[in-house]
Homo-oligomer: A and B are copies of this chain.
Amino acid sequence: MIKPLIEKLSHYMVLSEEEKQILENTTRQRIAIEKGDDIIMQGQRPDYVYLIESGWACRYKFLEDGRNHTMAFLIPGDLCDVHVTILDKMDHSIRALTALKLTKFSIDEIVNIMENYPRLAHAFFWSTLVDEAILREWLVNMGARSCELRVAHFFCELLLRSRMAGLSYDGSFDCPLTQVELGESMGISQVHTNRVLQKLRQEGLISMEGRRVIIHDWKRMKAFSQFDPTYLHSKLDAL
């Protein structure tokens, strides 16, 4: 089941049936990770390319004072560490935020795809460039926007990313984060995260039902959070 990946890549290029088959049929290992476990740790040598099939993970670093900071969330369809052959040491860790189903591609499998299917190689490269663009946008988000806009902006991004991966077809998406986890990525305290969410609900911008975040009025939400989807480099602009 690598449908989310195929869905995602199709926002960059239309994949042929053959190319889809390559992705589906590459011999590969599927593993399950328990909630809270690390997939790979800071300092380790990366060994495989991982694809998230279901569940959420995060890239994070731990700080000297014991706190963590999250730099990225990985959702179904996201790849990590396509550069496996280049860097010898992880500069951050990746942890399962929920129970996770992963596909492990060995280096050989990846190299095989990269060398024999240039279009797929391009599509993979596109996906890493989008990851980088997301990092830049997060930096702007952290540096220049108030907490409320920041969290709202984050929700806009995650709605679009969920839709790109074929995980959502309306104005809502599955968000398994606790308020602590959300705060650790937005650079705000747990208490303030709670208050920001309350504000966004009061403003009528979002509501939350269990793990689901619902965005009521995409246009208003976009305007409110100064969200410009260009950086996701997709044709999709939701709703």
Contact = CB atoms under 8 A, between A and B. Distances in A.
Interface stretch (A28-36, A62-70, A161-169, A209-217): A62-70
B89 A230 contact: yes
A139 B139 contact: yes
A145 B61 CA distance: 13
B187 A91 contact: no
Copies of this chain assembled into the complex? 2
A87 B144 contact: no
A130 B226 CA distance: 29
A144 B89 contact: no
A144 B91 contact: no
Interface residues of A, number: 41
Interface stretch (A101-109, A121-129, A171-179, A194-202): A121-129
A208 interface: no
A74 to B, nearest CB: 13
B63 A140 contact: yes
A22 to B, nearest CB: 20
Contacts of A72: 136
Contacts of A145: 63
Contacts of A122: 86
Contacts of A136: 59, 61, 71-72, 91-92, 135
Given A63-B226, A64-B226, A226-B64, A87 B140 contact: no
Contacts of A69: 139-140, 143-144
A144 B86 contact: no
A126 B86 contact: yes
A132 interface: yes
A63 B187 CA distance: 20
